[in-house]
Structure 1
Amino acid sequence: MKGNMFSALKNKSFRSLFTAQIFSDLGNWLDFIAIQVVIAYHWGLGEGAIAAVIIAMGLPWVVIGPFAGVFVERLSKKTVMISSLALKLVFVAGLYFSPNLYFLLFFVLLKGTAAALYDPARQSMIRSVVPEDELPQAVTLSQLSVNSTKIIGPALGAALISLFGAKSPFLFEIAGFFIGLLFLFLLPKVEKPHVVPNLEQKKENSSFRKEFLAGIRHIYITPLLKLSVILSAAAFFIIFLYDGLFVFIVKEIGFNGEEFGLLVSAVGFGSVAGSILLGNWTKWKSLPIQLMASSSLFSGTLIVAIGLGGLKIFSLPQVGWMAGAFLLGLLGSSQSVPYGYVLQSQTPGDMMARVSAAAASIQTFSMLIAPAAGAMLAKMIGVSYVMVWAGALTSLLGLGILLTRLTANQAQTAKLKA
């Protein structure tokens, strides 16, 4: 391993790719805030409309994403990324001019489709332009962009709305996508991965169906990757199970609206801090699954504590809850960063788009069904109990994976001694 997290930016091609990602990620969060404001305040619509938008955002990743990965690998990654970002720019213009919810949902769906093409091409491009020994730094920087824009995007979107009006973030998003396009044009034209498929692989890749199934099969037959996808998908399900209820539980704990915003920001700052920490201390790359599982174990404990706080069984001063939120964000990075590294390191360059798209589809599906399950459970047992059970499941998931890995390691050691 060479240098710290930012040493990957010495690579000119990755620097262009990363800069384009920042503008793309930032635009996604500007967009999300503006859409909610338009729906709730300008059109006076309720929770059902917001839920419809979230479904429209995620649906392309589930339905189109895995198939899009196959097409992405047959085309120039640079061309796919430029085309996708350009289409996102056009679709955001459509969002700006949408006269009602139906038009808005249509353009949200189209934008999600373009994003489902962009991301596997970006993942594949990382493998093409970054040397193997710099992958942890590159993946961590990429995750840092995702985490930091979750803080900057909403705050900037809110500021733009207050200064220039509810729809102004769309215009800034369009400008950001245009700047991102300029950086994408700086990427190299030759981007084939340094992996030469053997004759059997060439035959297998001769049809769309076989290529599509090969991406899913690679996840299934690669133990480390399969575990990381299962762990991250389960974690996403549990997070989104309670995420929509978080505002209500925080209210029970004693936070007002402004303080709730600070609590969410604390989670975001924890995510950024975790990404920076993991980017500069990379010994975790030898045990990425154990790190992800440990993160689940400890974050589950924090989630249980929040639930107990809502039940008035457990209490902390506000600074204590803020510290807990920061730690929750930091532990979240301990899942997302190792997952990104496992995905990149355990997947051949010529399969990256297919595999990353298939994995994203599994994760997004769990994210889409979780809010409905959370709302149903909240009506049955109450919001606080949903938090307690979600936290307990998170800890049990982490503990189960840790015990499984420990047993497997012991069996392997015993086999070697024999």
Structure 2
Amino acid sequence: MKAGMFKPLKIRSFRSLFGAQVFSDLGNWLDFVAIQVIVAYNWGLDASAIASVIIVIGLPWVIVGPFASVFVDRMPKKPIMIVCLLLRILFVGGLFFSPNLYILLVFVFLKGTVAALYDPARQSSIRMTVPDDELPEAVTLSQLSVNTMKIIGPALGGGIIALFGVKSPFIFEAIGFFIAILFLLTMPKLDETTEQLPNVETNKGSYWRDLTEGIRHIAQTRLLKVSIILSSAAFFIIFLYDGLFVFIAKDLGFSEGTFGLLISGVGLGSVVGSVLLGYWTNWKEKPIHLMSGTSVFSGTLIIAIGFGSMGILDLPLFMWVGGAFLLGLLGSGEAVPYGYVLQSETPKQMMGRVSAAAMSIQTFSMLIAPAVGALLAKLASVAAVMISAGISTCLLGSFVLLFLLKKIRSTSIEKPSVSVKKISG
């Protein structure tokens, strides 16, 4: 096991970028808790109102991010991120003063739009600040921030609400974004000289040509294309049952007070998984193998949980929490390798467009999945949806593994793209 996960933090630019991400991620989860509490408890609205909030959070990533990412690639990344954070502070103020759901949704959409611009710029900055041989560690640290804040953010948000009132998390979120700006101000100017791909004109072309260039790169880069398809399908399957998880937990015997243990188990597993992958980076030679392999094991766990919901498999609660931990652990086996493939298989000058297009595909699958899951639950049962999701996850991973084994002698699918690697003299 190689103790080099924190190696990229020795780079001043990445250290500033990572510090900004930690506070940005924390702010996002403080925000998510506060909005749900306001809608459900303060305003007394139903589940459809919560669903509308979640949909509006995701929409900018689908309909705005991919189109605006062309400008992100053309402009300096550091100023973009700082302006985005300033606008997020402004829109958080709008959320604080929102008098009803409709005004709140407007500011949720605006804040999501800015976030859909910030993330491609952040992804591009990682590519520009970290050398290729340290990308696995950098991507792991980034994913570790996301997973850790998923645990800390909701817990901290609940505590802040209890101490200071229902809207107080917005104030702390704005402070977090301001601290993120301070981190970015310490970041040295990025070297944004681009390495052009063969047969690509060096001068900036038309907007539509630049937009389609990013999509074309995904279509022509097999490793990247496979990883995006695999992760998008996995996201669809996860969100198929994610909204039904509370009913699954009830069937397993969890009460309102112990349901949080199940969610915490998933979150803790994802953090531990990220740390392990950060120390052991040999997976970077075969990232798709790891993604598909963990899918098979994840699917088996999901099927077991479905059987438990039906009463066929009866286990103590602590074992179900352990299963949730393993589910989170295996989830990192998909998220971290995907992030590495996205970074290593994309040229620096196209990082914004490619990451935004990939996020658009993933977010679209995440948005439509809950509705499909709810429909299937009505037609069959919640347990049936869970078991079907598990079977689909197993089949997805198995199909990709069989494809890799079939092609292993005739293709180099797991080798990094020549076009992305630096050509050393």
- TM score, norm. by length of structure 1: 0.97
* CA displacement at 1:2 relative to structure 2: 8.3
What's 2:153 paired with? 153
Higher helix share: 1
Whole-angstrom distance in 2 between the partners of 1:3 and 1:358: 34
Kept in 2: contact 1:125–1:191 (CA 8 A):
no
Where do 5+ consecutive residues of structure 2 fail to align? Answer: 413-425
For 1:284, give the aligned amino acid.
W
> In the TM superposition, what are the counterparts of 1:132-171 in structure 2 within 5 Å?
132-171=132-171
How do 1:288-307 and structure 2 match up within 5 A?
A: 288-307=287-306
| Rounded Cα–Cα distance in structure 2 between residues aligned with 1:371 and 1:96 | 28
Task: Answer yes or no: is the 8 Å Cα contact 1:2–1:134 preserved in 2.
Answer: no
Quote the RMSD (CA, aligned, Å).
1.4
Distance 1:243 1:193, change over 3 A: farther
**Measured at CA, do residues 412 and 100 of structure 1 come closer, stay the same or move farther in structure 2, by a change above 3 Å?**
closer
Distance, in Å, in 1 between the alignment partners of 2:299 and 2:392 is 7
Instruction: Compute the displacement of 1:202 (Å).
Output: 2.5
Report if the CA contact (8 A) 1:128-1:193 is conserved: no
- Equivalent residue for 1:264? 263
1:85-127 CA deviation, whole Å, 9 max, x = no partner? 1111110110000000001000000000000000000000001
Aligned mates of 2:3, 2:274 — CA distance in 1: 16
Q: Distance between the aligned counterparts of 1:244 and 1:5, measured in 2? A: 34
**Aligned equivalents of 2:145, 2:384: Cα separation in 1:** 33
State the alpha-carbon separation in 2 of the partners of residues 288 and 69 from structure 1: 26
What is the number of equivalent residue pairs in this alignment?
412
Distance 2:348 2:76 in 1: 13
Pairwise mapping of residues 177-216 of structure 1 onto structure 2 (< 5 A)?
177-196=177-196, 200-202=200-202, 205-216=204-215
CA deviations 1:314-336 (Å, max 9, x no partner) are 11111110110000000000000
3-state secondary structure, aligned to 2:201 = helix
Contact 2:34 2:166 in 1 (8 A): yes
Write out aligned runs for 1:280-291 (5 A).
280-291=279-290
Alpha-carbon distance in structure 2 between the residues aligned to 1:408 and 1:197: 26
Structure 2 partner of 1:338: 337
Cα deviations across residues 60-81 of structure 1 (Å, max 9, x unaligned)? 0000111121010111100110
2:65 equivalent in structure 1: 65
Please give the secondary structure, in 2, of the residue aligned with 1:201. Answer: coil
Q: What are the Cα deviations for residues 318-359 of structure 1, in whole angstroms up to 9, with x where unaligned?
A: 111011000000000000000000000000111101100000
Give runs of aligned pairs for residues 242-257 of structure 1, distance below 5 A. Answer: 242-257=241-256
- Name the structure 2 match of 1:82: 82
In the TM superposition, residue 256 of structure 1 has moved relative to its aligned partner by 0.5
Measure, in 2, the Cα distance between the counterparts of 1:139 and 1:277.
13
1:375-386 matches, within 5 Å, as 375-386=374-385
How far the C-alpha of 1:191 sits from its partner, in A, is 2.9
Contact 1:65 1:117 in 2 (8 A): yes
Aligned to 1:35: 35
Q: How far 1:290 sits from its partner (Å)?
A: 0.6
Q: CA deviation at 1:199?
A: 6.6
Give yes or no for contact 1:2–1:133 (8 Å, CA) kept in 2: no
The answer for the alignment partner of 2:418 in structure 1 is none
Residue 187 of structure 1: CA displacement?
A: 1.7
Paired with 2:197 and 2:389, the residues of 1 have a C-alpha distance of 44
| Residue in 1 that maps onto 2:6 | 6
Tell whether 2:118 aligns with 1:118: yes
Give the corresponding residue for 2:355: 356
1:199-256, Cα deviation, whole Å (9 max, x unpaired): 73325x4111011001011111100000000000000000001000000011011001
Which structure 1 segments of 5+ residues have no match?
Answer: 414-418
- Matched with 2:93 is 93
- Aligned residue for 1:200, secondary structure, equals coil
| Rounded Cα–Cα distance in structure 2 between residues aligned with 1:395 and 1:202 | 44
Alpha carbons of 1:309 and 1:2: their partners in 2 closer, same or farther (altered >3 Å)?
closer
In structure 2, the residue matched to 1:416 is: none
Q: Structure 1's 314 and 63: CA in aligned 2 closer, same or farther, altered over 3 A? A: same
1:8 CA drift (Å): 1.0
In the alignment, the residues of structure 1 paired with residue 167 and residue 36 of structure 2 have an alpha-carbon distance, to the nearest angstrom, of 11
Change (3 A) 1:412 1:84: closer
TM-score between both structures, scaled by the size of structure 2: 0.95
Aligned-pair identity (%): 63
Q: 1:140·1:279 contact (CA, 8 Å) conserved in 2?
A: yes
What's the CA shift string for 1:35-58, capped at 9, x where partnerless? 000000000001110010011100
Q: Specify the code of the residue in structure 2 equivalent to 1:172.
A: F
Find the counterpart in structure 1 of residue 346 from structure 2.
347
Question: Which residue identity is paired with 1:72?
Answer: V
Distance 1:64 1:19 in 2: 26
